[in-house]
């Protein structure tokens, strides 16, 4: 029987399935393994079902035992894994695409609504019984007629666009390539990032993290936004330069932010705490029972496919 290391705790149904299929090492305490412990725990294993919280860099991958042949990542992203290092060691890396699109897009819309309608301030006042109605109390930004700029029109970006369109928002997007007209559904394409940002009353960051997108939203690019824009991020924290975004908030260049992801998770840059207009969530994008179950099942499917056939359709390296 093949032996699999699972680095983080999964939902019970998923762990039960793994037990039926493999000799499995489960993380019952949901401990965040150090790189050294992960290497030690993987001894004698054929594969690892990893999570985004695992830092599988070149040094770590080079120290994995020769028996490891697959890293099945429990995420649509794989920025936590050095793909080239894995490839050099003939270790395939897989991900879990498509199954988290709807759940993550819902959070993307929540970020837009929460930031535009000053939800954080409203929640605080309601809990403190510290409010009374007036015509100008917590006036926010209405979405109807607002221009939404989507950075990265992949599955999640397209789903956010569909929901936002139903709310009356006008959709603009920047992508590596222009979509076909039927997939655009009326969205306006911008070949250059600067062009997209210049018309984004609300910016939704949806692109994958890569060498090209790290710190893509920075001091320079934030200046392209209209004054008083709203910036949201449902993708990866590495795409946004926190200090630059906080500075833009300080200067009122940016009206509000909505973040489900940020650098150094779970440690939030304290600069955001100074702003009531910061609507921030603890990486809830895929956090529904249906989606987390489907993600883990797909990660297990990836293990099964590879261990039976030597290949996998969800291979990313």
Is 121 a residue of the active site?
no
Count the helices and strands in the chain (H runs, E runs).
12, 12
* Two tokens, residue 78: 């794989």
Is 275 a residue of the active site?
no
Of 9, 89, 155, 283, which is the active-site residue? 283
* Residues 39/62, Cβ–Cβ less than 8 Å: no
Whole-angstrom CA distances from 211 to 39, 53, 86, 149, 238 are 26, 19, 17, 22, 10
List alpha helices for the chain, DSSP H: 12-21, 35-41, 58-63, 83-88, 101-116, 119-127, 155-166, 181-184, 193-198, 219-222, 242-250, 289-309
Which residues are paired to 305 by β-bridges?
Answer: none
First to last CA, the chain: 26
Is 190 a residue of the active site?
no
Bridge pairing between strands 229-233 and 202-205? parallel
d(CA 99, CA 40): 31
Of 117, 236, 241, 305, which is the active-site residue? 236
Residue 70 three-state SS: strand
Backbone angles phi, psi at 223, to 5 degrees: -70, -20
Sheet with 3-6: list strands edge to edge. Answer: 23-25, 3-6, 47-50, 70-73, 92-94
8-state DSSP, 309: H
Of 15, 58, 184, 265, which is the active-site residue? 265
* Residues 161/185, Cβ–Cβ less than 8 Å: yes
Backbone angles phi, psi at 171, to 5 degrees: -95, 125
Q: Which of 255, 245, 190 lies closest to 218 in space, CA to CA?
A: 245
Positions marked active-site? 236, 265, 283
């Amino acid at each position: 029987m093949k032996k699999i290391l699972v680095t983080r705790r999964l939902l019970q149904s998923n762990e039960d399935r793994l037990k039926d299929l493999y000799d499995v090492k489960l993380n019952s305490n949901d401990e965040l393994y150090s790189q050294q412990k992960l290497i030690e725990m993987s001894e004698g294993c054929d594969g690892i079902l990893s999570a985004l919280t695992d830092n599988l860099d070149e040094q770590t991958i080079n120290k994995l035992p020769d028996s490891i042949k697959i890293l099945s990542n429990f995420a649509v992203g794989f920025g936590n894994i050095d793909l080239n290092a894995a490839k050099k060691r003939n270790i395939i890396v897989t991900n879990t695409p498509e199954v988290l699109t709807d759940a993550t897009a819902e959070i993307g819309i929540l970020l837009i609504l929460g930031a535009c309608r000053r939800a954080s301030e409203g929640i605080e006042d309601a809990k403190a019984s510290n409010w009374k109605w007036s015509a100008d109390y917590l006036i926010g930004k209405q979405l109807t007629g607002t221009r939404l700029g989507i950075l990265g029109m992949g599955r999640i970006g397209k789903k956010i666009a569909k929901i936002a369109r139903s709310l009356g928002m006008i959709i603009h997007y920047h992508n590596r390539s222009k979509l076909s007209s039927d997939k655009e559904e009326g969205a306006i394409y911008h070949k250059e990032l600067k062009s997209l940002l210049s018309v984004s009353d609300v910016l939704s960051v949806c692109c994958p993290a890569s060498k090209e997108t790290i710190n893509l939203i920075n001091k320079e690019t934030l200046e392209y936004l209209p004054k008083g824009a709203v910036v949201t991020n449902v993708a990866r924290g590495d795409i946004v330069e926190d200090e630059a975004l906080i500075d833009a908030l300080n200067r009122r260049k940016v009206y509000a932010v909505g973040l489900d992801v940020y650098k150094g998770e779970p440690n939030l840059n304290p600069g955001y705490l100074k702003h009531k207009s910061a609507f921030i969530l603890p990486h809830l994008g895929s956090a529904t029972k249906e989606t987390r179950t489907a993600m883990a099942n797909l990660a297990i499917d990836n293990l099964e496919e590879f261990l039976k056939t030597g290949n996998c359709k969800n291979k990313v390296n």
